[in-house]
Amino acid sequence: MPFFTHQAEHSATKKEVWDWYNSLGAFRRIMPEWEGIRPLNAGRLVDGDETIFKVGIGPIKQTWIAKHHSVVPGESFADRMMKGPFGAWNHVHKFDSVSDNVTSIVDNVEYRLPFHILTGWSARMTVLPRMRQMFNYRSTRLTNDLKQIQATAKLPRQKILVSGSTGMIGLQLCAFLETAGHEVHRLLRPNTKLPSDVNQDQVVVWNDLTGDIIDGDMNGFDTIIHLAGAGIGDKRWSKKRKKLIRDSRVIPTMNLSSLIANLDSPPKTFMCGSAVGFYGNRGTEVLDESSEAGDDFLAEICGEWEQASTAASDAGIRVLYLRTGIVVSPLGGALAKLLLPAKLGAGGPVGGGRQMQSWISLDDEVYAIHHLMMNQSCEGAYNLTAPNPVSQKQFARVLGRVLRRPGFMPLPGFVIKLLFGEMGKKLVLEGQDVRPKRLIESGFEFTHSDLEMCLRNCLGKMKPN
């Protein structure tokens, strides 16, 4: 059978690498963002355990079942495809110590395409480019995760409760926290359905609109991270939708803040989601955490959202406000909506394209939350945005270059207003130039400060070495 090999070195011990791979969150972390893979079961590294996921082969989603075998703890493991899109697939992972703090990972894959006669001549054009991008992504993600984990390795691991754990940010945040050795629990509403690959037992169930605990105990957590809220850009803004956007943020935050302030064993840290919408539409004015709040709908919502945590701060709990920008990932948010028109060449400037877009990679969003959580001196508001915001026109141009598509169809602003109303005006035609001043001063180092490299990484468009 054809043989694919990938080798990479990582600045970590074999134990650090093995522990990362053997964590519950590793499978979500290692899957490329652009593949749209849906994990169903994350097998641990023991013989006979199975990892199951849905993967897209063209327009069709297929179930892939991989059974682990030949596991030598701390040294190597293999997985064989029992069901899936290939004719055959056997993947061996081997960890070798290059030095005390450098580990080499060698991935050897034997495979066969479903129509065996095509394997030899077609794989070079179909399978191998996709495999190279995938394994390069996995190595980069592992390197970056290990760097973040090592930065706080001497600090105690934490018991963490996360709301909004099923959203784009929450899923990757929980997965990373698990690879870092933290104990992760999820705060859920009664109708929330967890993905089948995550721990179904470590949950607290509550009524977010009344603050009543239905199942579980809120006592004993080191940190509570509150990210839940109705999607701002999911639907056109009617009066009913705007009320839901506000109430899904302000009321649960107020209830959660009051609840934890009166616990017998309250958390040391409460991290509350917010957004750069706090600053309102400010044109090209350069903004940081000391800048005044805006006066439009989103600014008012963000202000109320942050003020809703007053009970926690009054009780002496360390409170942080995460003013997040546009999170760049094909898994969701703005980029997921832009991809199809951009691939069709319709990703040109919108409404003139001068509005500023303060963006951040999904990885840096996750890493910044972890950094702030672990640094006890950090408190108050932090802008979670990359240090190099761009105009919408620049964003469109860079995305087109990464996708190798021309952005030849500019979209007038009045079309956005007709299609999406106030929501389109606020989210697409207005913007802010927000800088992460306090985050940088706290010692955080960005993994992706360049938009093109961020897009190439998350879309699987890295240039060959």
Report the alpha-carbon distance of residue 455 to residue 460 in Å, rounded. 8
Q: Do 111 and 180 have their domain in common?
A: no
Query: Per-residue pLDDT for 123 more than 60?
Result: no
The stretch 103-116 carries a mean pLDDT of 87
DSSP track, 187-209: EE-TT----TTS-SSSEEEEETT
For residue 465, being part of any structural domain is answered with no
Number of domains composing the chain: 2
pLDDT band at 438 (very low <50, low <70, confident <90, very high): very high
pLDDT of amino acid 423 = 73
For residue 449, being part of any structural domain is answered with yes
Can you read off the two tokens belonging to residue 2?
Answer: 């054809």
Dihedral of the CA atoms 248, 253, 259, 261 (nearest 10)? Answer: 180
Report the alpha-carbon distance of residue 65 to residue 67 in Å, rounded. 7
Q: Do 350 and 438 have their domain in common?
A: yes
Q: Do 21 and 166 have their domain in common?
A: no
Domain with residue 83: its CATH number is 3.30.530.20
Residue carrying the six token digits 């190439």: 456
User: What percent of the chain has a predicted confidence (pLDDT) above 90?
Assistant: 74
Q: Do 126 and 175 have their domain in common?
A: no
β 203-207/212-215 pair status: antiparallel
β 88-99/76-83 pair status: antiparallel
Q: Do 423 and 291 have their domain in common?
A: yes
For residue 83, being part of any structural domain is answered with yes
pLDDT of amino acid 125 = 59
Q: Do 82 and 134 have their domain in common?
A: yes
User: What percent of the chain has a predicted confidence (pLDDT) above 70?
Assistant: 96
The last residue of a domain, from among 130, 151, 172: 151
pLDDT band at 236 (very low <50, low <70, confident <90, very high): confident
The 10s digit of each residue's pLDDT in 354-368 is 899 999 999 999 999
Q: Do 168 and 70 have their domain in common?
A: no
Q: Do 117 and 172 have their domain in common?
A: no
Helices 333-343, 392-403: crossing angle, 10 deg rounding = 60
Q: Would you give the DSSP letter of residue 350?
A: B
Specify whether the CB–CB gap between 304 and 451 falls below 8 A. no
Report the alpha-carbon distance of residue 344 to residue 339 in Å, rounded. 9
More confident residue, 183 or 424: 183
- Closest Cα partner for 383 from 306, 300, 295? 306
The 10s digit of each residue's pLDDT in 195-219 is 999 999 999 999 999 999 999 999 9
Phi and psi for 220 in degrees, rounded to 5? 90, 5
Query: Per-residue pLDDT for 415 more than 80?
Result: no
The last residue of a domain, from among 151, 179, 199: 151
Q: Do 91 and 199 have their domain in common?
A: no
Helices 362-374, 127-151: crossing angle, 10 deg rounding = 20
Q: Do 67 and 203 have their domain in common?
A: no
- Closest Cα partner for 32 from 460, 464, 465? 460
Q: State how far Cα 384 lies from the chain centre.
A: 13
Q: Do 306 and 383 have their domain in common?
A: yes
pLDDT of amino acid 91 = 97
The 10s digit of each residue's pLDDT in 250-276 is 999 999 999 999 999 999 999 999 999
Q: Which domain holds residue 74?
A: 3-151
| Cβ neighbours, 10 Å, residue 199 | 16
The 10s digit of each residue's pLDDT in 279-336 is 999 888 999 999 999 999 999 999 999 999 999 999 999 999 999 999 999 998 888 8
Domain with residue 189: its CATH number is 3.40.50.720
The contacts of residue 303 (CB under 8 Å, 6+ apart) are: 278, 293
Residue carrying the six token digits 């999607």: 231
Q: Do 324 and 418 have their domain in common?
A: yes
Specify whether the CB–CB gap between 410 and 416 falls below 8 A. no
Report the alpha-carbon distance of residue 66 to residue 80 in Å, rounded. 5
Can you read off the two tokens belonging to residue 69?
Answer: 């075998």
The last residue of a domain, from among 107, 135, 151: 151
pLDDT of amino acid 359 = 96
pLDDT of amino acid 118 = 54
Integer angstrom CA distances of residue 78 from 7, 92, 113 = 15, 4, 19
